Chain A
Amino acid sequence: MDGARVLPVLGMVLFLLPALWPQPVAEIATSGGDAAAGGGLSAGPVETSAAMLYVFGIWALLILVSVVMARGLARAEFIGAAQAGKTGSGAGAVRAGQED
């Protein structure tokens, strides 16, 4: 259940990361020169295909995790209901069971 709570936060952070990516600078000629001078991989603007891979990759990952999570939650609720049935009153168990 806690996982289910953390997941959207994690997704939010991962999806907001692109906001920090470097922007193409207005004068492309000089920025290109600077980037070449810097020589690092980190300097240049991110290519759209790479951005697409990142965004859709995160998306697919989130979906996969929530599939697993949804199954886990269904089981957790079921167990929770069963426990409530053992410890609590009979009526409570019936109600929890129906909510599943």
Chain B
Amino acid sequence: MLNLLVAVCLAYVAFLFLVAFGAERAAERGRSAFLRSPWVYTLSLSIYCSAWTFYGAVGSAARNGLEYVAIYIGPTIVMVGWWWVLRKIVRIGRQQRITSVADLISSRYGKSNLLAVFVTLLSVIGTTPYIALQLQSVTLSFASFAGEDSAAALPSEQSTAFWVALGLSLFTVVFGTRNLDANERHHGVVMAIAVEAVVKLCALLAVGIFVVWGLGGGIGPVMARINASEIGVWQVNSGRWTGLILVSAAAFLCLPRMFQVLVVENEDESYLRLASWAFPTYLMLMSLFVLPIAVIGLEVVPKGSNPDLFVLTLPLAEGRDGLALLSFLGGFSSATSMVIVASIALSTMVSNHVVMPIWLMMTGGGATVSGDVRHVVLLARRISIVGVVFLGYLYFRMSGGGTALAAIGIVSFAGVAQFLPALLGGIFWRGATRIGAMIGISVGFFVWAYVMFLPSFGVGVALSETIFNEGLFGLSWLRPYALFGIEGLDPLVHAVMWSMGLNLTGFVIGSLVSFPQPLERLQGMQFVNALDDAQNNRGWSVGAAQSEDLMVMSQRILGATQAQKLFQEQAEGQGLAGYLPEPTSEFLQHLERELSGSVGAATAHAMVAQIVGGAMVSVEDLMAVADETAQMMEYSSQLEAKSGELTRTARQLRQANDKLTQLSVQKDAFLSQISHELRTPMTSIRAFSEILRDTEGLTEAEKAKYSSIIHDETLRLTRLLDDLLDLSVLENGLGSLNLAHGRLGDVIDHALVAAGVNGAGQGARLRVTRSLAQESVMIETDLDRLAQVFINLIANVQKYCDAEAPHLDIRTERSGDSVVVDFIDNGSGIPREVQAIIFEKFWRLAEQKAGGAGLGLAICRKIMVRLGGTIFYLPGQGGAAFRVTVPLENVEVGGISALQ
């Protein structure tokens, strides 16, 4: 039996891995229609029903009757009232690219990292017992199966918990940190927990139906038996009833794992509409059979057995092993899905708000040092996931797993409920300030810890018996269960009343007496008015921001491809070619949000601030905050848009003018250059031919020498004229393309050989690295022309790369219908101010190094245009870098084919 159980468990886990893997694959291929369904979203919310629900609800019902329902009524009310709160939080989450509940609170209160750290720590403390609870439930259910089978060697409870913790960490690391998605969405994980949601619902319903119709003899008799049992009358303490509804409603919004599925994983706001009734239905179905199971369990199962496990022991006692197995899987699903999502949510918070700021501080230079920062983020997340799960395991071992499941859960709920005043206040009350939030959360947290969390370990463990009886420092009004001398209340009601009450008071008073910082005001306004459209989110004043520095930083966080794509799109949006958009305030805002999707709002803000400088809130922003009647907002934003447009146009005009002036200077320079280039060989040809003609008695050796000089000079002239001709042919779109199929790698090989990289001489110094695997792509183009471009780029590196040990990196990557080849060297690169003109004719990096006529890059560009591709200078790569894009299939470029 035990072996079968382990086998079923492993098979189930393997199945979940497959589901998650399949979902990730589908999402990557863009076939994710079914992943983006509101049903999946609704099912994923079911992680609210952890093992606490699955096992603990029956236990709670066996002890206190209908009280367990309150835990599900709270979320029901929140979901039914989605129009008020959830819609707004989800909207804000999408607008501000919120990654966690800590991120939301920190972002609202002026992107304060201190607040984020505080919320993160509190979440970790509040979630640890909850994870321990899940491990405990799996262990207990395992043991109750094992108890049936006395022949088998019983594994120790701790080793079961250990293996479960290990497996969960592995699953979460594999699917939770696969990539650093800017949106923080995990398709695989969400799909897996949606499947688990179905499994646990089916399992509980199956047990319920078996109990009611199989054991109880139908609805009527079961109802009679319920009334006849020891929980037959309504005996729920009204304070507890109200308290539980309120706390569960608060926790539903504030639990890090719920926030993760509700807000962060939400793809579309309209999903809420379905979830608003479908999720309450799920909750209702989950709790429908709890009471019958509890009552029949009390009758059938021998006295003294743990009521928390009735769902499992009842079918076992009746000999229904198959049903028991299903029920075990249901409980297993509830526990695992909760731990997975909770550890993802917490790891995001820990890495974004604790590890990253510390890491940035320790590495000194912060955002601008070279190197990829993403591996740090991913590593931090992976370590945090393992850390969080094992913290839960540690708690489980230390607490010994004795307390009833429900008791641990409610402690955790009340802990995270402390975020509620700051959260709701933040999105509905513009007057709420950082100081108020800090005071509220910390007061609530300490009261909670003192009256609920520490006492939950039992008398004499965390707090001594003296403190329980006589209060802290012997002050009787500080007794944990009778704060301020109010006795006789239920501990839960007492704890919730005092912690939430003082929290709220501290929050309101703190907000009223303190004065918000400008950024805080700005964020406050955006959060409170999130539902009004026409948001105009400002924050960065256009200043000395250097696009290139921003690009260097973004590449490290978002990854090179994504960052380059973002910059190119933005540049295109501004009507500029290339990769460097103007650092307008819209662009900076957009960038900051993209970054905050990866590292959190506070860190992203700090990083951008490092580069852009101190100018965070402009005068316009302050004015916008000060008087924000709709018309004023509208007017000022229109004005701003217009003035921004004018500024941009003016800047573009200036750029165009500069370019024209430079071109005209170049043209003049070219004329003198070309006459010089033509004259020098001409002069020597004339001189030497005169010598040959006029001098008598030349030796054969001398004759040969002079005529070979004449020959060399003629060759040089021919080359120059060839180049000019080549260029004019390309410019006029004449000449035909010699299309052929070939491997890209062969073209690069050919170019390297032709440029003499592998031979002797100066070129041999150059070290080349290539991405051979990607180079095996087949292309259809004019291979000789393409090789000409490559040779030119390689030759330029040989000529101009000024590094001690020149190194050329040729990176190849497929990108849609084309292939991108980057040539990146380690020299000092091309200065910003001339990047725009290097592709012009007759431009040379340095006059003294004149090796050609300055036509190389101009020809390259013309060739690439003819081939239907592009060549760009790629800034921010640490050296000179050129990006060549070649279409895989030849596309005919307008008009040219007609000429052929």
A binds B: yes
> Which residues of A approach B to under 8 Å, CB–CB?
1, 4-5, 7-9, 11-12, 15-16, 18-21, 23-24, 45-52, 55-56, 59-60, 62-63, 66-67, 69-70, 73-74, 92, 95-96, 99-100
A74 to B82, CA, bound (A): 13
Knowing A63-B280, A70-B274 are in contact, say whether A11-B76 is a contact too (CB < 8 A): yes
Residue pair B277, A95 in contact (C-beta under 8 Å): no
CB < 8 Å neighbour of B80 from A7, A21, A48, A99: A7
Residue pair B235, A8 in contact (C-beta under 8 Å): no
Q: What residue in chain B is nearest A50 (Cβ atoms)?
A: B234
CB < 8 Å neighbour of B81 from A7, A46, A99: A7
Knowing A7-B81, A49-B223 are in contact, say whether A66-B280 is a contact too (CB < 8 A): yes
Residues of B within 8 A of A47 (CB): 227, 232-234
CB < 8 Å neighbour of A48 from B231, B238, B281: B231
Q: What residue in chain A is nearest B84 (Cβ atoms)?
A: A5
CB < 8 Å neighbour of B245 from A16, A70, A99: A16
A55 to B73, CA, bound (A): 9
- Does B270 have its Cβ within 8 Å of any Cβ on chain A? yes
Kindly identify, within residues 82 to 102 of chain B, every residue whose CB is under 8 Å from any CB belonging to chain A: 82-84
- Does B215 have its Cβ within 8 Å of any Cβ on chain A? no
Residue pair A52, B66 in contact (C-beta under 8 Å): yes
A49 to B235, CA, bound (A): 12
Residue pair B280, A62 in contact (C-beta under 8 Å): yes
- Does B443 have its Cβ within 8 Å of any Cβ on chain A? no
- Does B438 have its Cβ within 8 Å of any Cβ on chain A? no
Residue pair B284, A21 in contact (C-beta under 8 Å): no
- Does B78 have its Cβ within 8 Å of any Cβ on chain A? yes
Q: What residue in chain A is nearest B534 (Cβ atoms)?
A: A92
**Nearest CB in chain B: distance from A88 CB, A:** 10
Residue in A15, A16, A92, A96 whose Cβ sees the most chain B Cβ within 10 Å: A15
Residue pair A18, B241 in contact (C-beta under 8 Å): yes
CB < 8 Å neighbour of A62 from B76, B288, B291: B76
**Nearest CB in chain A: distance from B45 CB, A:** 15
**Nearest CB in chain B: distance from A63 CB, A:** 5
Residue pair A5, B80 in contact (C-beta under 8 Å): no
Residues of B within 8 A of A66 (CB): 79-80, 276-277, 280
**Nearest CB in chain A: distance from B26 CB, A:** 24
- Does B226 have its Cβ within 8 Å of any Cβ on chain A? yes
Residues of A within 8 A of B73 (CB): 15, 55, 59
Knowing A63-B281, A92-B533 are in contact, say whether A52-B77 is a contact too (CB < 8 A): no
Enumerate 18 A-B pairs (CB-CB under 8 Å) in ascending A order: A4-B83, A7-B81, A8-B78, A16-B242, A18-B66, A21-B234, A24-B234, A48-B65, A49-B223, A49-B227, A50-B234, A51-B234, A52-B66, A55-B73, A62-B76, A70-B277, A74-B270, A96-B533
Q: What residue in chain A is nearest B533 (Cβ atoms)?
A: A95
- Does B772 have its Cβ within 8 Å of any Cβ on chain A? no
Residues of B within 8 A of A73 (CB): 83, 273
Residue pair A23, B235 in contact (C-beta under 8 Å): yes
Residue pair B276, A55 in contact (C-beta under 8 Å): no
Contact with A along B227-247 (1 / 0, CB 8 A): 101011111111101100100
Tell me if B's interface is mostly helix, strand, loop or mixed.
helix
Q: Known A-B contacts: A19-B242, A51-B234, A59-B280. Give 8 more (CB < 8 A).
A: A8-B84, A12-B245, A15-B73, A16-B241, A18-B236, A23-B234, A45-B235, A49-B223
**Nearest CB in chain A: distance from B534 CB, A:** 8
A74 to B237, CA, bound (A): 40
A58 to B533, CA, bound (A): 36
- Does B607 have its Cβ within 8 Å of any Cβ on chain A? no
A50 to B291, CA, bound (A): 13
**CB-CB nearest 4 A-B residue pairs:** A8-B81, A19-B238, A4-B83, A46-B234
- Does B889 have its Cβ within 8 Å of any Cβ on chain A? no
Residue pair B76, A48 in contact (C-beta under 8 Å): no
A67 to B80, CA, bound (A): 10
Count of interface residues, chain B, beta-carbon cutoff 8 Å: 42
**Nearest CB in chain A: distance from B603 CB, A:** 29
Residues of A within 8 A of B227 (CB): 47-49
- Does B69 have its Cβ within 8 Å of any Cβ on chain A? yes
Knowing A62-B280, A66-B80 are in contact, say whether A45-B233 is a contact too (CB < 8 A): yes
Q: What residue in chain B is nearest A22 (Cβ atoms)?
A: B234
Residue pair A59, B65 in contact (C-beta under 8 Å): no
- Does B269 have its Cβ within 8 Å of any Cβ on chain A? yes
Residue pair B234, A15 in contact (C-beta under 8 Å): no
Residue pair B280, A48 in contact (C-beta under 8 Å): no
Residues of A within 8 A of B233 (CB): 24, 45-48
Knowing A56-B284, A62-B76, A100-B270 are in contact, say whether A5-B277 is a contact too (CB < 8 A): no
Residue pair A52, B245 in contact (C-beta under 8 Å): no
Residues of B within 8 A of A60 (CB): 284
Contact with A along B242-261 (1 / 0, CB 8 A): 10010000000000000000
Residue pair A99, B276 in contact (C-beta under 8 Å): no
Residue pair B77, A11 in contact (C-beta under 8 Å): yes
Residues of A within 8 A of B284 (CB): 56, 59-60, 63
Residue pair A48, B232 in contact (C-beta under 8 Å): yes
Residue pair B277, A67 in contact (C-beta under 8 Å): yes
Residues of B within 8 A of A48 (CB): 65-66, 226-227, 229, 231-234, 291
Q: What residue in chain A is nearest B268 (Cβ atoms)?
A: A99
Residue in A8, A67, A95 whose Cβ sees the most chain B Cβ within 10 Å: A8
Residues of A within 8 A of B288 (CB): 56
Residue pair A5, B291 in contact (C-beta under 8 Å): no
**Nearest CB in chain A: distance from B884 CB, A:** 37
Residues of A within 8 A of B84 (CB): 4-5, 8
Residues of A within 8 A of B274 (CB): 70
Q: What residue in chain A is nearest B69 (Cβ atoms)?
A: A55
A47 to B77, CA, bound (A): 25
Q: What residue in chain A is nearest B229 (Cβ atoms)?
A: A48
A66 to B276, CA, bound (A): 7
**Nearest CB in chain A: distance from B734 CB, A:** 45
Kindly identify, within residues 846 to 898 of chain B, every residue whose CB is under 8 Å from any CB belonging to chain A: none
Residues of B within 8 A of A9 (CB): 81
Residue pair B83, A15 in contact (C-beta under 8 Å): no
Q: What residue in chain A is nearest B87 (Cβ atoms)?
A: A4
Residue in A5, A7, A52 whose Cβ sees the most chain B Cβ within 10 Å: A52
A52 to B226, CA, bound (A): 10
**Nearest CB in chain B: distance from A91 CB, A:** 11
A15 to B248, CA, bound (A): 14
A12 to B241, CA, bound (A): 12
Residues of B within 8 A of A74 (CB): 270, 273
Residue pair B80, A8 in contact (C-beta under 8 Å): yes
Residues of B within 8 A of A99 (CB): 269-270
**Nearest CB in chain A: distance from B11 CB, A:** 35
Contact with A along B57-76 (1 / 0, CB 8 A): 00000000110010001001
Q: What residue in chain A is nearest B237 (Cβ atoms)?
A: A23
**Nearest CB in chain B: distance from A21 CB, A:** 5
CB < 8 Å neighbour of A49 from B69, B226, B236: B226
Residues of B within 8 A of A21 (CB): 234, 238
Residue in A50, A51, A99 whose Cβ sees the most chain B Cβ within 10 Å: A51
Residues of B within 8 A of A46 (CB): 233-234
**Nearest CB in chain A: distance from B801 CB, A:** 49
Residues of A within 8 A of B224 (CB): 49
Residues of B within 8 A of A12 (CB): 77, 245
A45 to B227, CA, bound (A): 11
Residues of A within 8 A of B269 (CB): 99
Residues of A within 8 A of B69 (CB): 55
A51 to B284, CA, bound (A): 15
**Nearest CB in chain A: distance from B71 CB, A:** 12
A48 to B77, CA, bound (A): 22
**Nearest CB in chain A: distance from B37 CB, A:** 16
A32 to B126, CA, bound (A): 44
A56 to B219, CA, bound (A): 14
Q: What residue in chain A is nearest B66 (Cβ atoms)?
A: A51
Q: What residue in chain A is nearest B79 (Cβ atoms)?
A: A66
A12 to B223, CA, bound (A): 26
Residue pair B80, A52 in contact (C-beta under 8 Å): no
Knowing A19-B241, A48-B227 are in contact, say whether A55-B277 is a contact too (CB < 8 A): no
